[in-house]
């Protein structure tokens, strides 16, 4: 038979693929847009050796490792989770690849994901890029750990003495952002168990069994677009004091466990122009209320050993016993009244000027979250640097309480912005914060008020990703949390609190 040319190959690949379901067939819609891009995960396959089948020609086709290094972490919000990258090498004859049978495993339940895809990686970057041929699609799984039969119609042709690199991926582009976040920390594993699962033939129709080492398998751990801990919910009622159901909820949307020991949480909202604000912590003075104060504000630190795992949601109750009475469950941490609960006491400032000692002493009975509107700030400090780093900030409700502007002069000539010199670095040289957003912007982008203020956008919307005072360089004062007048943004108002559970 005449050798098929590459032009014929591409013409065949441009044809529509027929639609067939998971475990029984495949489909492809050439008009369907490709979803995002991801990076190839770890893949095990090498040249040499062969797995033979009766009547097969194992010298005509071989499977090898991918040509590019593999990464083991991918973002669910990019649209595809690539678990396997591999290369098929044709011998002296054209090779016709009809189907690939893939088995799934890992800690994720594949039935919550979308369809499976067999994609040709034309540029070899290990990513599903727009315009790259999708040779076969298998329908969304109906159970955990399924088998996908990826059947290409028309068949895929690899010209003689040429190679092609392929990706096996699961779609996440059709999932809601909330469902994508729920995947964080879980693993996707795909495998071609043995050579017989690649249905191949030469150009005369003879059966070909690929050489190489099987199984060809890969795994990826799922993360989300955010690079740091996020405030996911703030509940400002019901009750107060020992009956308080108020709490702050945090989520780790990254693929890594994060140490919280140097993390602080505060709603302290004195005006920075008066010289008293949370960012003064490195100076040892005027950074928050001490544990002996009767203030309604608080500044607390996570205890030694505190951590948050990938995808984990934790709650910090204002009142441990009050939280338990309200929700019939126990918070992970509390700022006071742990009582008989399992909630771990957050650390509070002992009070002496020039000290940043925090101990497991409860905050004031008056401490709580203002229903009408204020702010919550999660920040971190390494114990010596001049400047703290914002991790996440939420302004909610009405008014101007809690607006944070560490650079009120915004670069005006001859007028200094706020500068801080740490008491603990011993260099007597102050550092200046980068520009925060001005008061008008922050007032116009406040989240709606409670009872529950719930995050609905885990990408932080249009927040500036560079040039800010955040832990990853973000400007945490630039998040469009709402419209400033009770309308929604990256947060929404809810009547129902769901501690420990995203909604």
- For residue 66, being part of any structural domain is answered with yes
Given 223, 239, 255, which residue is the final one in a domain? 223
Pairing of strands 207-208, 198-202: antiparallel
How many structural domains does the chain have? 2
Q: Which segments of the chain have a pLDDT < 50?
A: 1-55, 69
Given 171, 196, 223, which residue is the final one in a domain? 223
Indicate whether 207 and 306 sit together in one domain.
Answer: no
- For residue 161, being part of any structural domain is answered with yes
Question: For residue 455, what are the contacts with CB-CB under 8 A and spacing of at least 6?
Answer: 230, 231, 232, 233, 490, 491
Indicate whether 209 and 292 sit together in one domain.
Answer: no
Indicate whether 300 and 437 sit together in one domain.
Answer: yes
Indicate whether 212 and 341 sit together in one domain.
Answer: no
- For residue 15, being part of any structural domain is answered with yes
The model's pTM: 0.81
The SS3 call for residue 494 is: strand
- For residue 140, being part of any structural domain is answered with yes
Indicate whether 65 and 137 sit together in one domain.
Answer: yes
Q: What pLDDT sits at residue 415?
A: 57
Contact call for residues 319 and 331 (beta carbons, < 8 A) = no
Per-residue tokens: 23 = 């475990």
- C-alpha separations of 259 from 265, 304, 357 in Å: 14, 9, 19
Indicate whether 358 and 278 sit together in one domain.
Answer: yes
Q: What pLDDT sits at residue 47?
A: 34
Indicate whether 361 and 430 sit together in one domain.
Answer: yes
Q: What pLDDT sits at residue 396?
A: 96
Indicate whether 136 and 191 sit together in one domain.
Answer: yes
Furthest-apart CA atoms within the chain: distance in Å: 90
Contact call for residues 245 and 257 (beta carbons, < 8 A) = no
Q: What pLDDT sits at residue 239?
A: 80
- For residue 39, being part of any structural domain is answered with yes
Q: What pLDDT sits at residue 33?
A: 31
Dihedral of alpha carbons 34, 39, 42, 48, sign? positive
Tell me which residue has tokens 């080492």: 213
Domain residues for the domain of 177 are 6-223
Given 188, 223, 258, which residue is the final one in a domain? 223
- For residue 1, being part of any structural domain is answered with no
Question: How far apart are the C-alpha atoms of 93 and 86, rounded to whole Å?
Answer: 20
- For residue 327, being part of any structural domain is answered with yes
Indicate whether 297 and 346 sit together in one domain.
Answer: yes
Contact call for residues 188 and 108 (beta carbons, < 8 A) = yes
Q: What pLDDT sits at residue 10?
A: 34
Indicate whether 198 and 265 sit together in one domain.
Answer: no
Indicate whether 130 and 11 sit together in one domain.
Answer: yes
Per-residue tokens: 135 = 């040779």
């Amino acid at each position: 038979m005449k050798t098929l040319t590459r032009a014929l190959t591409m013409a065949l690949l441009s044809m529509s693929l027929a639609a067939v379901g998971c475990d029984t067939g495949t489909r492809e819609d050439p008009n369907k847009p490709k979803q995002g891009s991801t990076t190839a995960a770890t893949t095990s396959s090498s040249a040499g050796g062969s797995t033979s089948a009766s009547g097969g020609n194992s010298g005509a086709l071989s499977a090898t490792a991918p040509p590019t290094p593999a990464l083991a972490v991918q973002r669910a919000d990019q649209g595809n989770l690539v678990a396997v990258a591999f290369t098929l090498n044709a011998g002296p004859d054209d090779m016709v690849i009809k189907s690939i049978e893939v088995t799934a495993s890992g800690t994720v339940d594949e039935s919550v994901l979308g369809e499976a895809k067999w994609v040709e990686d034309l540029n070899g970057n290990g990513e599903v890029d727009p315009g790259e041929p999708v040779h076969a699609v298998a329908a969304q799984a109906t159970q955990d750990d399924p088998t996908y039969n990826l059947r290409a119609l028309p068949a895929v042709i690899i010209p003689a003495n040429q190679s092609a690199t392929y990706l096996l991926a699961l779609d996440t582009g059709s999932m809601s952002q909330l469902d994508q976040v729920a995947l964080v920390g879980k693993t996707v594993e795909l495998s071609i168990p043995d050579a017989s699962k690649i249905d191949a033939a030469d150009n005369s129709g003879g059966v070909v069994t690929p050489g190489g080492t099987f199984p060809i398998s890969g795994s990826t751990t799922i993360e989300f677009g955010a690079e740091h801990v996020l405030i996911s919910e703030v509940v400002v009622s019901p009750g107060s004091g020992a009956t308080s159901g108020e709490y702050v909820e945090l989520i780790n949307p990254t693929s890594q466990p994060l140490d919280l020991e140097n993390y602080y949480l505060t709603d302290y909202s004195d005006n920075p122009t008066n010289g008293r604000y949370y960012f003064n912590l490195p100076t040892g003075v005027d950074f928050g209320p001490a544990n002996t104060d009767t203030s309604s504000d608080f500044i607390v630190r996570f205890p030694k050993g505190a951590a948050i795992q990938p995808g984990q949601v934790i709650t910090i109750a204002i009142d441990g016993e009050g939280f338990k009475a309200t929700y019939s469950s126990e918070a992970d941490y509390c700022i006071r009244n742990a009582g008989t609960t399992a909630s771990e006491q957050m650390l509070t400032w002992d009070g002496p000027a020039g000290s940043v000692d925090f101990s497991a002493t409860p905050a004031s009975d008056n401490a709580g979250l203002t229903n009408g509107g204020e702010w919550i700030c999660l920040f971190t400090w390494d114990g010596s640097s001049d400047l703290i780093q914002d991790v996440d900030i939420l302004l909610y409700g009405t008014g101007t309480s809690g607006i944070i502007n560490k650079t009120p002069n915004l670069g005006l000539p001859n007028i200094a912005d706020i500068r801080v010199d740490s008491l603990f670095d011993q260099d007597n040289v102050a550092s200046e914060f980068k520009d925060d957003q001005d008061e008008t912007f922050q007032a116009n982008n406040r989240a709606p008020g409670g009872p529950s203020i719930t995050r609905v956008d885990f990408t932080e919307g249009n927040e500036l990703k560079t040039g800010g005072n955040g832990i990853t360089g973000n400007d945490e004062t630039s998040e469009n949390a709402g419209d400033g007048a009770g309308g929604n943004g990256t947060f929404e108002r809810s009547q129902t609190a769901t501690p420990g559970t995203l909604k």
